[in-house]
Amino acid sequence: MLFPIVADTHYGDFKGTFSFSGQDYTSSLEILLEQKVDLPAGYTVVGFGLDISWENGPTPGHRCNLTVYATNVVGQRSPGKLRDYARDHDVVPVRAFQPEVQLQPLDLMQLFEKIKEFQLVGVTREAKDMKMVPAEDE
């Protein structure tokens, strides 16, 4: 049986159009994300997004927006409670938080220092709704 080709790492701590594993089950990454956006007490990080735009490489002045998605339904930094909540509900309500100061592209190194494995798979626009699978040998 053929399986779709998707981004996948050993633990797959965060998934979407990319996957990565944190160095210590993501706790140090979660703490860094909390600090970057000055996360209010009582919120747990659920995920994050990066919006990066540069034309000729990561030079100062190019756009690099960080968005941290967090929920207040389980209390601050409670991964076990978050897992239980997600198991019992169809959705987890989140708020989007952004830093006061826009990140510079080189600031991303602070985030990537917390990552052990990273894989990104991009699909062309024309095939975005199709699953990619390995071709069978002819």
Q: What is the pLDDT of residues 43-90, one digit of tens each?
A: 988 888 877 666 666 566 566 788 888 889 887 666 678 888 888 887
Number of domains in the chain: 1
Whole-structure pTM value: 0.69
Q: Is 17 part of any domain?
A: no
The band of 1, judged by pLDDT with boundaries at 50, 70 and 90, is: very low
Higher per-residue confidence, 128 vs 41: 41
Q: Residue 125: how many CA atoms within 13 Å on its side-chain side?
A: 0
Domain limits for position 99: 26-124
Identity of residue 25: Y
Tokens matching residue 67 = 């968005």
With H, G, I as helix, E, B as strand and everything else as coil, classify residue 106.
helix
Q: Is 131 part of any domain?
A: no
In this structure, what DSSP letter does residue 107 have?
Answer: G
Location of structure tokens 């938080």: 97
Q: Is 129 part of any domain?
A: no
Q: Is 108 part of any domain?
A: yes
Distance CA 63, CA 51 (A): 8
Q: Is 6 part of any domain?
A: no
Closest CA to 47 of 23, 73, 74, 66: 66
Q: Which range scores top for mean pLDDT: 33-42, 52-61, 72-81, 110-119? A: 33-42
